A and B are shown apart, each in its own frame.
Chain A
Amino acid sequence: MNNNKQAITIKGTKDGLTFIIDETCSFDQILKELETKLSSSVVDKDHPMVKVNIHLGNRYLTKEMKDDFLQIVRSKNNLIINEITSNVITKHEAKEWQKDLEVSTITRMVRAGQTVHVQGDLLLVGDVNPGGSVSATGNIYILGRLNGIAHAGLEGDRQAVVVAAYMNPTQLRIADLLSRSPDFATEGVYMECAYVDEEHDKILIDRIQMLSNLRPNLRSMERRISNG
């Protein structure tokens, strides 16, 4: 049925080549056709690298399938894969994605020896006492006193921030960076945010009002859907 129809349509755009993959034919067929199509096209060795975008339509590729696919494209040495897009993701991926975008609200005190961890953003209504710690893969917002440890961007997101109504932490951690309180006793500060300053490669603290300038993507909640 589909044998007459092309499984792969190649289009040239100003961003390079776009491969549109038919979503109804079998995967073997695609690989076969890809092989023939790419070998039949005459490739000039001196030709600059060509970017390839792949549109899968409503097809889902497992990691193994993707690897097989990429291997064929990469074997043609002047093609580089720019992007693979698909209209579908698995339920599991969708749930993880949703968790990453979610703000989990927790109302409690985090006392000495207690830890709270969430995936995504954390909104804590309560205090973090000395010896207590909170962590999140995203941002941390504390409506209360931060006297303990807060670790935002736990899985390496340096864009993550820690915001607290009262900031007097023993330690602040964002992604792979750490800063600690000075060795002399300090009064905390009210309404502050902590972020990573890429220029100096360290964690800085500023007034909460500066946050929208420092992290423009936080201005609206849709932000990370676009780069999810």
Chain B
Amino acid sequence: MRPILLHGHTRSLTKVKYNRDGDLLFTVSKDAKPNVWFAHNGERLGSYDGHNGAVWDLDVSYDSKRLLTASADNTCRLWGVESGKELFRWNTRTAVRQVAFAQGDRMALYVTDATMGQPSTIWVVAIEEDLENQSDEFERKIIINGPKATVASWGDLNKTIYTGHEDGTITIWDAETGEKIKSVKSHDSVISDMQWAPDYGYFITASKDHTAKIFDAKTLRVMKTYTTQRPVNSAALSPIRPHIALGGGQEAMEVTQIGGAKQGKFETRFFHLPFEEEIGRVKGHFGPINTLAFAPDGRSFASGAEDGFVRIHYFDDDYFEFNYEEESLTA
């Protein structure tokens, strides 16, 4: 396959995400300019200009009309996807780390960092259809006592909020009351990514402890563990095959010039979901991969790395034909 190389960012990527239809790819990086691209040919549709600091996270609404971005300039912003205009802004006291639309797009959450004496906090805000009525008041505020949250997302039907923490803990919160429902520490280090299975039955986490794990959503039981030799920055579940993709590599600050890209293992690694075995890898980046996303149709995936590049890979036909011996026997 021949990847499409997108170089619209001047600094390292922090997140790439497809919209629901899979035709748009949103990318954010530390250079303060979120971008949107057509996924099929890599054409840049536009950039959302306005942030003054690194952008840590993004989310796009179900109808692909609105975009939320979380930035280190102490704002969380809402954008019109088509116009590129800023529609609304929430000012915060500390950097915003994570942002997510709730299912239905009438609510959203964002997570602020624990710095300058402020605790790490989850803010739940209402998103109005009509922006005239949009308020910057929060609906709910969940203060996280303990290690700060590094990833956050909504659980099924917006009843719960899942957070991953700096120390490897995963916590479920009641979205209505803000109470802590369950907390499990299964990773040894920072949780760097969390992505849901389409049916919200399980999710995958990536951690700096060199592993990725699949958790049962209700019980937080570890169902599968995928071990690598480098910190894992991102883990994605294929929507159509029993495969997962892991991105990571040596920390950027530890990469020596002599070692070069070869030593850092800056590859996207594919594992077989139930068998927990590596089945293939894709080379290309010159720095650790920070973020991975499968297209919703499962026929392509995008990776964003510390080197500032985004690569869109469309799978060759033989990717879809590959089966394990055991799989083909039952088929």
Q: Is B one of A's binding partners?
A: no
Q: Could you tell me which A residues sit within 8 Å of B by CB distance?
A: none
